[in-house]
């Protein structure tokens, strides 16, 4: 039998099982006796075998609410729901509860989206990739004194302030950029220079 044939048989079996579970769910719940609480003792000198050690039966203990959050109690439905979803997804050949908008956000084409590398005083990135936008960000208004050719020429760009409360300057990094981006700050409210230069390499 080919692999495709085996897959078709598995899908048919999954669909049959899913229909059976939906029709009579009570028959598929296996009653299990609750586990006895285990007292854990942090005693390195104890001669007893560790809980969960190979050869010791693993157990799940109950919380204050019977069966909530565990697969041990018969009253728990948490394990049951994902199992039915899995069977239905295999049967249909697609994820049953997939949200297209969310899937598109992570699996879609991101070529048209602008990509940023953010530099700020508590996260001073050392490099930025070509094609990205380098965003210089600070908590107060500033004028960015910067150069893309090792200070041969310079530009002064006032910061923008969005509603989120921080101030920033965006520097697009072209595909032919090689020299690092050098910059310093002139703090407009205080009328003073930062007194130090910074640099971000271009990869």
- pLDDT category at 114 given cuts 50, 70, 90 is confident
Burial class (CB in 10 A: 0-12, 13-18, 19+), 144: buried
Give me the chain's average pLDDT, please.
Answer: 77
Range 183-191 average pLDDT: 97
More confident residue, 192 or 110: 192
pLDDT at position 160? 94
Q: How far apart are CA 172 and CA 180, in angstroms?
A: 13
Range 52-58 average pLDDT: 54
The rounded percent of the chain whose pLDDT value lies above 70 is 66
Q: Pick from 164, 182, 21: which is nearest to 88 by CA?
A: 21
pLDDT at position 62? 47
The most confident of 51-55, 74-78, 152-156, by mean pLDDT: 152-156
Predicted confidence (pLDDT) per residue in 153-181, tens digit? 999 999 998 878 899 999 999 999 999 99
Over 90: is that where the pLDDT of 146 sits? yes
Q: How far apart are CA 90 and CA 23, in angstroms?
A: 18
Q: Which two tokens stand for residue 80?
A: 């049951």
More confident residue, 2 or 109: 2
Dihedral Cα 200, 201, 202, 203, nearest 10 deg: -130
pLDDT at position 15? 75
């Amino acid at each position: 039998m080919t692999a495709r044939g085996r897959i078709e048989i598995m899908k048919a079996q999954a669909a049959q099982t899913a229909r059976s579970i939906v029709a009579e769910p009570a028959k598929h719940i296996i009653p299990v006796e609750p586990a006895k609480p285990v007292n854990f003792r942090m005693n390195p000198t104890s001669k007893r075998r560790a809980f969960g050690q190979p050869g010791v039966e693993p157990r799940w203990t109950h919380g204050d609410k019977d069966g909530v959050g565990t697969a041990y109690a018969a009253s728990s439905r948490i394990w049951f729901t994902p199992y039915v979803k899995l069977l239905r997804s295999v049967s249909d050949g697609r994820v049953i509860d997939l949200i297209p908008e969310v899937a598109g956000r992570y699996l879609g084409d991101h070529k048209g989206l602008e990509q940023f590398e953010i530099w700020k005083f508590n996260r001073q990135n050392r490099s930025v990739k070509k094609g990205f936008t380098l965003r210089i960000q600070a908590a107060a208004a500033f004028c960015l004194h910067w150069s893309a050719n090792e200070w041969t020429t310079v530009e002064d760009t006032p910061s923008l302030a969005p509603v989120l409360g921080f101030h920033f300057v965006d520097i697009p990094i072209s595909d032919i950029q090689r020299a690092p981006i050098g910059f310093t700050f002139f703090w407009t409210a205080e009328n003073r220079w930062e007194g130090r230069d910074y640099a971000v390499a271009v990869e």
